[in-house]
Amino acid sequence: MQGLFFESDTGVRYVLRFLVMLIGFWTAWRTGKAVAEGWSGYPTVVIYTLLLGVVMRFMHYALFQGPFISPFYYIIDTVLLLVFSSAGFRMRRTRQMVQNYYWLYEPTSAFSWKKKD
């Protein structure tokens, strides 16, 4: 791809890495929201995020010739994905609790709710 989009191949790699990260974070966010919409618990978010971490490792391996089986990079990828999936889960669960049980709960932030007085 040298010379196709940029003067050197490194520019294309940076753009592709950014797009892969963007897709991964968006997928993690949507995973958290989907689990919350199905009224499943938080352990389901963790399991799905662990699987998504494997997918992201494969994408790094397939696109950038990175190591596929690397516990260090898998943990880094999974922790970052877990941050986004947890945020999506908590925001959607807060909205569910406040909208579905409006007589019981009120939002305290985007990630939590409390009982009405």
Q: What is the Cα–Cα distance from 79 to 83, expressed in whole angstroms?
A: 6
Q: Which residues contact 38 (CB under 8 A, 6 or more apart)?
A: none
Helix (H) or strand (E) holding 109: strand 105-109
pLDDT band at 105 (very low <50, low <70, confident <90, very high): very high
Q: Which residues contact 104 (CB under 8 A, 6 or more apart)?
A: 115, 116
Q: What pTM does this model have?
A: 0.84
- Backbone phi and psi for residue 105, each to the nearest 5 degrees, phi listed first: -125, 150
Is pLDDT above 60 for 47? Answer: yes
Tell me the angle at which helices 71-100 and 42-64 cross, rounded to the nearest 10 degrees: 140
pLDDT of residue 39: 94
pLDDT of residue 13: 79
Domain range annotation of the chain: 9-84
Q: What is the Cα–Cα distance from 117 to 114, expressed in whole angstroms?
A: 9
Mean pLDDT within 32-53:
96
**Residues comprising the chain, all counted:** 117
- What residues pair up with 107 in beta bridges, in sequence order? 113
pLDDT of residue 1: 47
Mean pLDDT within 7-30:
85
